[in-house]
Structure 1
């Protein structure tokens, strides 16, 4: 199958041995803003007037036709088009024999938008981490310095309160570092999944009990677990992390009853194969439609500030590392009203009486055993 220059996603410019442009594809025209008809047949330095970041003319610096004969290429670098438009440029010098004359100069062009987005994302991550670390580390430093300097002046109760605060802030730093490590592994595709047989209903009940022990009323939660579930093989620690994040979001940012459903489902990647679906929904204000597409991106926090905004990004990475999928939608209160008993007066009653909709997160995991048991 022949590939035409206009099929390429990157700009392609080819000049012959005399330095005249013989190929100028559609992407090159789009990136440079110069028409193909104008470029073809013109000198390379005219069709592609590049400058380096110091304002020096690039083709005069590199001199591809009269420079050292041992050169075969120019590595990719940032250069400027007229008007200051930045592009990524790489070039190859084609010679019919080693150290022979240049027969063709092949130049590729790419926009810098993707790189800029990545750089902005990294900058935002660094700023977020610095902000999140500053508060607990300041607290830890302040309390430990105070205790070391004035230990005898404090009562045992005061010392305990300070040490409990230090311990809580140290845990906060530890969680943030764990999130950063998870993001690094997700972005690089190195997130390891250590599959074991997992009793998902037990995990769900344990997390609900933990919230109740922390002070949430038992009536706030409803679990709906199917009687017969296929054996699930997954990484226990990582699935615990997923459930903890989704339940924490529902409790903290939602209202009314938090419902957790566990049911059999088809595997998301292999139609017909077994899978397990977990749904966590609440009766709060829900997520605006315009924000649905950004829920699983970095730093998304919705309308309420607080936290790093990295939790749902990590959740998505963990689910996908298991070969699963995760989605979010609005959970209509009317749907729940048909299937559940009417709650007593309180937040849940207000949400349901008003027909409010909350957020419904649903992830599906394939249940296949690890390779050594296949």
Structure 2
């Protein structure tokens, strides 16, 4: 059957290709004729244009109204095929004409205005122009060919020659190339027929060619009569060939059919078994190659369906488990959970869990399909605007987290709302949302903020009053010291030794009072800075000048501890570090600690600083000549690993240093000071020991 169909198709296609070739050959003949006629016509018109253009060069033609001009026009007609010729001056006035018109008509024409004629306008603008054909009373068509007349480089008029398109003298020169069964028609630009030859036909083959420069169209048409007989013969042969092939195949097909019916019956029984979901059933067909392939394909399909059923059943069981887990999670979450669909940007409730009903007081089945905003929004414009923004972000596919206010069963409460889209093929209109009640948390945070503000106020009041009292103690201690010095001078004699001893003892007590008062004042400053640190939720680091800050604290120590020797080793780098406005408290506490906890008669403190541009850090070293810090206390001296004021460090000042430096992203530690010998110890034969406190800060990026 396949061979018969292929053979029939081959015969059919072959005959069709032959018919197509016949038609293509006929169309090619028509194309050739049309193109040849168009080319010849264009050549004839081009020759006429050249003739007029050459005649316009004659100087006598430019002599308007002269006898020489008339003789030149008469000579032009004698040696050309033109029927008439005239000259129109550049102003549009006809100056001469030679044609078969009467003397009276010629007198009327000369001096008349022809400035509105198209052929004059085109030629006076420098173009040789072929006019549209004009049909005369005789039925003949006349064209005017105009050329510009130049004199001294400018156009002084136009030469206008009339040419009769007589059939015997013009068209027949190229019409002879038209074959007998073809019809030639020449159309003007406005589709007016100019010339036609050949029999009238019902066109099956058509070719139109435009004549260059004129807008005329050459149309050649031919009927299908020339190929009809050949096509008819071919069609009969084609039908006979196909009939012969089909007749030969009929008997063979019947035999194949009877043999195949049995196999098809077995195949149908196999498919019915598959319809009854008896997957895995197998067929046994004939030993021919084709039926073996069908048998193998069916058996593979049956086994594939059997595996597919097992896989489908496994996936269905997995989906049921996932659905059960999701439903348990959905219903078991203690916070309200909603499933919504965004319809025209509005969240329409699709489902909700039991916590939704408890929190908001709605029966889910009763409100499914309602706008969620209508159910939960409190009646104020701010909540509506926030909900509109959340819905817009959710519609764009965003995961939204926002703090919102919603109308619950017991009044308006505050929730932390989180939503997530359920995306499917780019569709994000289905969303899940969770409402976490944070009303109590927000109230608790508000109470904490209020307590912090109250503690801050209390701290300021207490610190202010303590400092005022300490300043009074310090002032009166200074007055008492001055008074004791005066009394000591009065009692400075051998007879008053006992009085001098009493004064010395009083001065000792006085120094203790003054030191304690100074220490208490220093503690209030440290407490002030510590309060700033503890009451600030998050510190904002900013560039701070290192040299200015450090020099300011050095000046303060010089004035407050005149007995100490504070020096700077080298120069302090002019860099800016990441810190804040209380960076000076770090250096003040380190310098004060180096002086106050020094066991030498003359405390010596050396400050140095070095910047490391590669690492982006700067290190400030504060070295003293005190007793040093044992290795087992170098960590806990800052209170590391312990909390607040109960740490085992040396005091609140170093705890503040550690806290501030950590908040700046830096580090602080203590080292042993290398043994050194000062002038006094060299005389006594001893070495100077001490500690070095190192502060490492990050450099600020300068842009």
Per the normalisation by structure 1, the TM-score is: 0.44
Pick 1 or 2: higher relative contact order, CA cutoff 8 A, min separation 6.
Answer: 1
Which one has a bigger Cα radius of gyration?
2
Q: Give the number of the structure whose residues are more often helix, by fraction.
A: 2
